[in-house]
Amino acid sequence: MRRKILAGNWKMHGLTVDLQEINEISKFSKSCETEIILFPPITLVSKISSSITESSLKLGAQNCHFNQAGAHTGEISAKMLTDIGLTHVILGHSERRTAHLETNEILREKIKAAWENDLTTIVCVGESAETAKNGLTDVFIQDQLTKTLPNHIKINRLIIAYEPIWAIGTGEVPSLKQIKKTHDLIRNLIKNNYGSLAANSIRIIYGGSLNQDNSKDIFSLPNVDGGLVGGASLTHTSFIPIISLLEMQPN
Ligand code: PEP
């Protein structure tokens, strides 16, 4: 049985004034079976950590460096994230692959660094609009995932997010049939490359314009174990209804 998971990626949003949103999400999460993880900007982490001590809400970072320490101005290592109590990290988000030129090879090193420091890693994969239009989604996802994941994986520290680039922040969402097909493909790829235990254990979540109107149907797909939410995770009024819809799904 795989525990449902909902992650909120705040990207470069969030000031002290927005802590109230996190407190509301934290209060709600106390009664939830779903694993809820927020990825706020690093600047808010210490304030959030001190205000959610009784909560089951987990906190993660949106990136880490592959080295433990060194002359890397502006970077933060996985070891530093663990040091401030973070438990998760997102790696391979398309915004970082594109704007920060993070290749599959670089990401593989980052994943290894995250695992060496006991961080659970949400590894994102997703095709561009052009790839989707040309009917090459399957081939692309297979190639991207195979090249991004290390040869030896930590089953209990890996979550895979399928995030079509063209669905992120656009209001566009693939058809249920397309989402099912890609999630099935990812599960099969994990089985072929890493075995049945890995395939049955690793959670595969969907991300891209999730909201309270479209999540119920997406969450009901058999190989969808939850979601990665960007824009709709920024307020408790838009995030909590999505958590509730996931809570309603049988495990
Ligand atoms: C994301 O950036 O991971 C994401 C899913 O964003 P949004 O929900 O805003 O499309």
Q: Going by C-beta distance under 8 Å and a sequence separation of 6 or more, which residues neighbour residue 114?
A: 64, 78, 89, 91, 121, 157
Mean pLDDT of 228-250: 97
Q: Which of 38, 229, 234 has most ligand 1 atoms within 8 Å of its beta carbon, as the pocket-test mutant? A: 229
User: How distant, in Å, are the alpha carbons of 42, 162, 237 from that of 208?
Assistant: 23, 8, 18
Residue 251 has pLDDT above 90, yes or no: no
Q: What is the pLDDT of residue 74?
A: 97
Mean pLDDT of 226-230: 98
Residue 198 has pLDDT above 90, yes or no: yes
**Residue nearest atom 2 in ligand 1 by C-alpha distance:** 230
What spacing in Å lies between the alpha carbon of 70 and ligand 1's midpoint?
31
Q: What is the pLDDT of residue 54?
A: 78
Nearest-atom index, ligand 1, CA of 210: 8
Report the C-alpha gap between 30 and 50 in whole angstroms.
16
Q: What is the pLDDT of residue 211?
A: 98
Three-point CA angle 225, 82, 183, nearest 5°: 20
Chain segment 57-99, per-residue pLDDT in tens: 999 999 999 999 999 999 999 999 999 999 999 999 999 999 9
Chain segment 4-36, per-residue pLDDT in tens: 999 999 999 999 999 999 999 999 999 999 999
What spacing in Å lies between the alpha carbon of 90 and ligand 1's midpoint?
12
**Band of the pLDDT at 1, cuts 50, 70, 90?**
confident
Please tell me if the CB atom of residue 165 comes closer than 6 angstroms to any atom of ligand 1: no
| Residue 72 falls in the annotated catalytic set | no
Candidates 35, 88, 163, 236; catalytic one? 163
Q: What is the pLDDT of residue 168?
A: 98
Q: What is the pLDDT of residue 250?
A: 84
Report the C-alpha gap between 41 and 84 in whole angstroms.
13
Q: What is the pLDDT of residue 53?
A: 80
Mean pLDDT of 198-210: 98
Residue 235, judged by CB atoms within 10 A of its CB (0-12, 13-18, 19+), counts as middle
Candidates 93, 102, 127, 236; catalytic one? 93
| Residue 183 falls in the annotated catalytic set | no
Please tell me if the CB atom of residue 233 comes closer than 6 angstroms to any atom of ligand 1: no
Torsion sign, CA atoms 137, 165, 225, 249:
negative
Report the C-alpha gap between 25 and 79 in whole angstroms.
27
Please tell me if the CB atom of residue 164 comes closer than 6 angstroms to any atom of ligand 1: no
Q: How many CB atoms lie within 10 A of CB 69?
A: 10
Considering all CA atoms of the chain, what is the largest pairwise distance in Å, rounded to the nearest integer? 49
Nearest-atom index, ligand 1, CA of 124: 3
Please tell me if the CB atom of residue 195 comes closer than 6 angstroms to any atom of ligand 1: no
Chain segment 102-148, per-residue pLDDT in tens: 999 999 999 999 999 999 999 999 999 999 999 999 999 999 999 99
